[in-house]
Amino acid sequence: MSDPLRVSVVGTGRMGAAMAARVAAAGYPLTVWNRTRSTAESVASKCGGDVAVADTARNAARDADVVIVSLADDAAARATYRGEDGLVAGLRQGTVVADTSTVAPETIRALEDDVRATGAVLVDTPVSGSVSSVEGGTILVMAGGQADDVERARPALESFAQRIILLGPLGSGSIMKLAVNAMVFGLNQTLAEALVLAEKAGVPRELAYEVIASSAVAAPFVGYKRAAYEHPDSAPVAFALDLVAKDLDLAADLAGAVGARIPQLETNRRVAGEAIDAGLGAADLSAIARHLRTEPRSQS
């Protein structure tokens, strides 16, 4: 009988923490690391069982067969991979690094040489869905890289993913993630506008949302954002507007590089920027509705 797959999760924010819990529940030996050690320790304690907390990304990667990476942005990715105590310094022959972060495809491709120089391999495996989707094991993984490398990471990924779609060479997952997020943010913008329009015209918020959630536009997003839109003062932050703006910027950069026309994305980008300027950067993306309920600033 072969030894169980040894998995490390590097980055234990909301998504990384949920992934770590599913990996631990699947019975894989698990090590976690986060830049703030207390965050990793909290995640490890909630996972239960024998979950190790590494002092550095290097040590997290050292004995892993699969390293699942979940980081906030491109700068965090570069800082975590590189350096004396970085993830790359701990990699060994045969390790698969599966990066679920939302970053530019160029960032992933730039890190590949560093990873391959150690004998390890890199695949980009961003996800589409929410924290609750990870917790329920129903999230979608959009994978880029060599098919054999993705297959080696599959058992760990399937501890929290319902489906893995291989899209093409390294960077393809990141490209598709930006495309999907651009659409999600478009839906979020439209949802916020429709709800605010109905409210201001006299339809109670809950009834307006009931109609939207029962109509032809009732995508899964509409369902799992319902509490945030109906009760904005008590809803937790699932996706901060600051991160929305970061992803919209990445998508706009990609569009510029490939010559894609993106008028809807540019509108969403402008409105998100206005909401952030109004002090809502740390709020959930559903706070776009709160922003739209306010009177526009006069132009001088």
Phi, psi dihedral angles at 102 (to 5 degrees)? -90, 100
Give the Cα separation of 52 and 140 in Å (integer).
27
Give the Cα separation of 220 and 191 in Å (integer).
12
What is the rounded end-to-end Cα distance, in angstroms, of the chain? Answer: 74
Question: 213 and 132 share a domain?
Answer: no
Query: Would 100 be classed as within a structural domain?
Result: yes
Phi, psi dihedral angles at 205 (to 5 degrees)? -55, -50
Residue 299 is predicted with a pLDDT of 46
Alpha-carbon 170 to chain mean position: 17
Which of 220, 222, 166, 171 is closest to 192 using CA atoms?
Answer: 222
Question: 34 and 130 share a domain?
Answer: yes
Give the Cα separation of 171 and 177 in Å (integer).
10
Query: Would 1 be classed as within a structural domain?
Result: no
- Residue 154 sits in a domain whose CATH number is 3.40.50.720
Query: Would 197 be classed as within a structural domain?
Result: yes
Residue 266 is predicted with a pLDDT of 97
Q: Is 7 helix (H, G, I), strand (E, B) or coil?
A: strand
The total number of structural domains that make up the chain: 2
Question: 248 and 156 share a domain?
Answer: no
Last residue of a domain, one of 168, 200, 218: 168
Question: 55 and 155 share a domain?
Answer: yes
Phi, psi dihedral angles at 165 (to 5 degrees)? -110, 120
Question: 184 and 239 share a domain?
Answer: yes
Question: 134 and 209 share a domain?
Answer: no
Residue 24 is predicted with a pLDDT of 97
Residue 297 is predicted with a pLDDT of 60
Question: 12 and 122 share a domain?
Answer: yes
Question: 87 and 217 share a domain?
Answer: no
Q: Write out the chain's pLDDT in tens, 300 residues.
A: 467 899 999 999 999 999 999 999 999 999 999 999 999 999 999 998 789 999 999 999 999 999 999 999 999 999 999 999 999 999 999 999 999 999 999 999 999 999 999 999 999 999 999 898 999 999 999 999 999 999 999 999 999 999 999 999 999 999 999 999 999 999 999 999 999 999 999 999 999 999 999 999 999 999 989 999 999 999 889 999 999 999 999 999 999 999 999 999 999 999 999 999 999 999 999 999 999 999 766 444
Residue 235 is predicted with a pLDDT of 86
Which of 277, 274, 271, 269 is closest to 249 using CA atoms?
Answer: 269
- Classify residue 38 by burial, with Cβ atoms within 10 Å: 0-12, 13-18, 19+: exposed
Last residue of a domain, one of 109, 144, 168: 168
Query: Would 298 be classed as within a structural domain?
Result: no
- Residue 189 sits in a domain whose CATH number is 1.10.1040.10
CB 97 within 8 A of CB 120: yes
Q: What global pTM score does this model have? A: 0.93
Last residue of a domain, one of 141, 168, 195: 168
Question: 46 and 15 share a domain?
Answer: yes
Question: 153 and 23 share a domain?
Answer: yes
Question: 142 and 229 share a domain?
Answer: no
